[in-house]
A and B are shown apart, each in its own frame.
Chain A
Amino acid sequence: MSRLINNVHFSAIILVLLTLISTLLAQSNIQENLLALLVTLSVVIKGQQIVDIFMELNKVQAKWRWFLLSYTILIPTILAIIIYI
C-alpha cells in the first residue's frame, strides 16, 4: 500500500475522531472559553488534514499550501475571537 493511501486512511480517521470529539464537547457543560479553544484547534487540525492530505498540497509549492493553510488557521480563529472575546 502506498504512502498516500496510508495517509488518506489515517487522515480520514483523524477527521472523524475530531468531529466526534467536537460534538461531544459542544454537548457537555465545559467552560465556554475552553470549548472555544478546543473546537477551534480541532477545526484548524481538520483543515490542515484536508489541505495537506486530501488536496495533496503538502507536495506542491509552499505558497499554495500556505495560502490554504492560513485560511484554515485564520478563519476559525477570527470567528472564535469575534464570538467569544
Chain B
Amino acid sequence: MTNIVLFDAINNVPVSKQASAHKLPGDLAMWVFIVMELSVFAIFFIAFAVTQRIQSDMFSEGRATLNASTGLLCTLALIVSSYFVALAVEAIRKGQNLAASRRLILAMLSATVYLALKLTEYVTLVELGFDLSTNTFYTLYFLITGFHFMHVLLGMVIVGYMGIKARKDIYSPTDCSGFEAGASYWHMVDLVWIIVFFLIYIIH
C-alpha cells in the first residue's frame, strides 16, 4: 500500500506536521473553563427539552408570548460582535493594537444591542405578569437566558479589559495568549446563544 503525504507548497513541510504545530489559541485553563461552561449549559438545554416534551401545551403558550424578532436581533448582534472580536485577534497578530482596540469597541457596541434587547424582553414579560414563578416554562426560560445574559456581561468586562490593554500597546504578535483566551470565551458565549435561539425561539 502506498502512503500519500501532502506537502505545503511554500514551506515544504508535511501538512499533517504543520497542522499539529499550531497551539491551542489562548490558555489551556480557559479551554477547560469553556468545556465546563458548555457542559452546564448542555444540562440546562436537555432539561428544557425534556420538560417541553412532558408539558408541550404549557411550552407552546409560553413561547407564544416571546417575540421571535427579538431572538433574531439578539442572535445577529452576537454574531456581529463575535465577528469583530475575530477581526481584533487578527489585528493583534499583526501587531496592530490600536486597530484591535477599535474592533473590540465595535464588538462591545454590538453586544450592548443584545443586552438592551434582552432587558426589553424581560421587562415586557414581567409587565405582562410572567416571571420565574409563573410556570416551568418561564422558570427555565429566565434561568437559561439569564445565565447566558450573565456570561455576556462577564464577556463584556473581559473584552473591555482586552481593549484597554490593546490601547496601551501591551500585546505583541508573539505574546497575545491572554487576548486569544478572552476572544475564545466570547465565541463560546456566541456558540451557546446559537443553541439557545434554536431551542427557545425556533423549535416549536
Contact = CB atoms under 8 A, between A and B. Distances in A.
Interface of A: 2, 4-5, 8, 11-12, 15-16, 19-20, 22-23, 25-27, 35-36, 39-40, 43, 46-47, 50-51, 53-57, 59-61, 64, 67-68, 71-72, 75-76, 78-80, 82-83
B144 interface: no
Nearest to B41: A75
Interface residues of B, number: 44
Contacts of A39: 198, 202-203
B203 A36 contact: yes
A7 to B, nearest CB: 9
A72 to B, nearest CB: 7
Contact of A71 (B42, B75, B79): B42
Given A12-B80, A19-B197, A83 B190 contact: no
A61 to B, nearest CB: 7
- The residue among A11, A39, A40, A82 with the most chain B CB atoms within 10 A of its own CB is A82
B138 interface: no
A60 to B, nearest CB: 5
Contacts of A59: 19, 22
B186 to A, nearest CB: 9
Interface of B: 19-20, 22-25, 31, 35, 38, 42, 45-46, 49-50, 52-53, 68, 71-72, 75-76, 79-80, 82-83, 85-87, 89-90, 184, 187-188, 190-191, 194-195, 197-199, 201-204
A66 B24 CA distance: 13
A16 to B, nearest CB: 6
Contacts of B202: 22-23, 25-26, 39
A54 B86 contact: yes
Contact of A56 (B25, B49, B87): B25
B45 A5 contact: no
A5 B85 CA distance: 12
B198 A55 contact: no
A46 B190 CA distance: 10
23 contacts: A2-B90, A8-B86, A12-B80, A19-B75, A22-B198, A23-B68, A23-B202, A26-B68, A26-B202, A26-B203, A43-B195, A50-B190, A55-B188, A56-B89, A60-B22, A67-B35, A68-B38, A75-B45, A78-B49, A79-B45, A82-B46, A82-B49, A82-B52
Contacts of B46: 78-79, 82
B151 to A, nearest CB: 15
A16 B45 contact: no
Contacts of A67: 35
A23 B79 contact: no
